[in-house]
Amino acid sequence: MNSGGSFLTSPVGETEIFSRENFTEEHQEIGKAVADFAKERIRPNKQEIEKYNEDLSRELMGECGELGLPGVDVPEEYGGLGLDKVTSAIVVENLSHGMCASFATTFGAHSGIGTLPTVFFGTSAQKEKYLPKLASAEWLAGYALTEPEAGSDAISAKTTAKLSDDGKHYILNGTKQFITNAQWAGLFTVFALVDGSKFSAFLVERDTPGLSLGPEEKKMGVKGSSTCSVYLENAQVPVENLLGDIGGGAAIAFNSLNIGRFKLGAAALGGCKSVIKEALEYASQRRQFGREIQTFDIIKSYFADMAIRTFALDSIVYRTIGMIDEGIRAIPKDAEKYNVLVAQAIEHCAIEASIVKIYGSESLAFTADNGLQILGGNGFIEEYPMASAVRDNRIDRIWEGTNEINRQIVSGYFLKKALMEELPIREKTKDIRFNNLDPYEAEPMANEKQFFDVTRDITLYVLHEAISRFGQDLQNEQQLAVILSDMFIDLYTMSSAIQRCAQAVTQKKEEPHWLPMLQVHCTERAAIVAGAAELALSGILEEPYLTAAQKKLATLKNKLPMNINIFKLKAEIADYLYEQDK
């Protein structure tokens, strides 16, 4: 199995990745069934769900339970389906066809971070007691990590857990804030400090003495979901409800968030596709200056940009989940603490999970904003779907770890892997070709591979200079770390899209518009990375070293094959979208 982050040092186009072209017939059938459910049951009820209709949301969650959707990740022996993580992503992606972020939030928090801590870290008794109820959605689940003074810095929590004198209960005291599903949940995963310092997790039932809830928060978006504070005042939690080991809360919290991150990216992917579909329908009917607005060049560029970002997102979502499933398959089914090893396999892809979360949430924001602009004044009206899409998506860049925190995770992991030589970053940096570049003329995707290789050399060069200047203190240079993270993100989307297209050509599964999308994506991202590198170097070096470094960077930038007419290609991409109407 490839090491997490290996896309930075591995040759592009030489290692097969997972993509939706590899879906089995079962994957496709499940995707269609979920999409049909979303269109037939969620979409028509969206307005009522958004009014905070608990009964309706519970009814729909129950219907999801009958289909087995909340239990996709739950083992069969505990009432679930026990399917792979690809299926899990397919479910949340296709639920987005309902275009109701409130219901998607309720479902996602329940089936992801609400349920999976018990799946991965629960004892047999805990699983037998709780998982059947969670898999069927008889009980909804909440994840109580955030506190008024502990958001992204989760392990600085103040909630305490003290063993009672008789040794039968842990007594929990503290406040949890912004807890999704709180008013409706039957079970919470609560994080607290045992003996004032040992960050631990507990399964806390709704009717636990000492547990109470605050009022519903008045939110900017996802108004039809439940979000409350959870108050713990001498809450008596049985000792058998300790989840995992004392002091093991960080592993539970962060592995749960890794899962939440790739699922959020998958949900955003479905959202992007739904927004494009709605915008296409509107643009084909709306007339201005005597013709449909979809014929205007600028509108075509909007649709092309939306499609390209969505294609890149699709590529990294399923590549990442394919890597996770590959790691899980390598674990013997009879291994001791099998589910803990599964969680560790997911953590192995923490870099990619954070990238999927960042790129997914920001791609949906970009797509929804463009969609609203295409609808013009109607986009601002609640009767149309774009207003809620823009408003509801805003939270995606905050929860599951803010995008700022996730960018620090990406750059931090690469710093660690470079210093510890977990990846051959030092050797790759020595191989940077400032003068010569081997030609790719005889290879498929030659131009795109050249774009990637040069862009990677630029990134490695900047990373090398940053580490040379700051060493381990680079983690404290947060503005620089953000620039580096964005460079890594662009490399991951480029390598994933290139490899996906190369595989599709070999398998004769490619679509006519894929190569134009790939060409535009690589051209634009390479130009952005090159510009970012110039900014980064000016923050790392001083004269006379800066001028010398800028000359080296210029030699690399000159190797980018910037000879592609992206305006023409974007028009072709849009025309193809119009033909397909999706």
Q: Which residues are designated catalytic?
A: 400
- Residues shown for the chain: 582
- d(CA 277, CA 282) in angstroms, rounded, equals 9
The first and second tokens of residue 238, run together, are: 């049985």
Q: Which of 43, 54, 1, 72 is nearest to 224 (CA)?
A: 54
Q: Residue 234 — φ and ψ, nearest 5°?
A: 55, 40
Name the one residue in this structure whose structure tokens are 């193809």: 576
Q: Which residues contact 297 (CB under 8 A, 6 or more apart)?
A: 567, 571
The first and second tokens of residue 422, run together, are: 């977990």
CA distances from 234 to 54, 160, 169, 205, 210 (A): 29, 10, 10, 14, 5
471: left (phi over 0), alpha (psi -120 to 50) or beta: left
Beta bridge partners of 232: 174, 211
Q: Which of 147, 225, 134 is nearest to 188 (CA)?
A: 134
Cα dihedral 539, 540, 543, 548 sign: negative
The amino acid sitting at 452 is F
The first and second tokens of residue 87, run together, are: 């299926």
Alpha helices in 541-580 (DSSP H): 545-557, 566-580
Please tell me the number of Cα atoms within 13 Å of 521 on its side-chain side: 32
Q: Which residues contact 28 (CB under 8 A, 6 or more apart)?
A: none
The first and second tokens of residue 51, run together, are: 């009014």
Q: Helix 514-540 to helix 545-557 angle, to the nearest 10 degrees?
A: 170
Instruction: State the DSSP string of 513-536.
Output: THHHHHHHHHHHHHHHHHHHHHHH
Q: Which residues contact 16 (CB under 8 A, 6 or more apart)?
A: 499, 503
Q: Which of 452, 389, 35 is nearest to 222 (CA)?
A: 389
